[in-house]
Amino acid sequence: MATALHSVILPCSSSSDPRAALLPGVVPSPTVVSVGRSSFSLPEFSGLKIHTNSSSALASLNSRTSRVFRRGGRIVCEAQGTALDVPIVTDTTWQSLVLKATGPVLVEFWAPWCGPCRIIHPVVAELSEEYAGKLKFFKLNTDDSPSIATQYGIRSIPTIMIFIDGEKKDAVIGAVPKTTLTASIEKFL
């Protein structure tokens, strides 16, 4: 895979320590990024941290006021509260969490390599927050629990199933819009 971005130049903060711009959690405000001959400003945001693969990137000074990050450096978002996590169900917990659950249960059948699954994850997580207390949400990795997926005839992922009193009531196949999942959920509440 080719890398289009070869270097990013970030100005140091006005601190007396030139390494201050590289300390975890410290992003100069505002940050001017230069890529090739173009430069632009990034909005102020303290949820980004700069991670490098080697200490040589820390020692790489372009001038007294800037740092150069060669290949291997990356900026990682560590903002909290941006993603909701839906609990995982497995072969061993399926019976107690889904089949013997009181009230309706929504299960997302997915796999880590599935692109459409990654698209629908945030939608399911958002719905889990909206329907908290009314509907239980779980996700089942079909690679880790193939017997459950086979038992319910899962041939395509993502598949969303709704269970009531251990009985499958509805299934939605594919990365569908939130409105489609909401309509399916509302039928059983």
pTM (2 d.p.): 0.57
114 assigned to active site: yes
**What confidence tens digit (pLDDT) does each residue in 85-143 have?**
899 999 999 999 999 999 999 999 999 999 999 999 999 999 999 999 999 999 999 99
pLDDT classification of 23: cutoffs 50, 70, 90: very low
Closest CA to 182 of 136, 123, 140: 123
**Catalytic residue chosen out of the listed positions 12, 114, 149, 175:** 114
E-strand ranges in 101-166 read 104-110, 136-141, 159-164
**Catalytic residue chosen out of the listed positions 21, 57, 98, 117:** 117
**Could you tell me the domains of the chain?**
8-77 (no CATH), 91-186 (3.40.30.10)
What is each CA distance from 174 to 4, 92, 93, 119, 158, in whole angstroms? 33, 26, 25, 10, 5
61 touches 49 (CB < 8 A): no
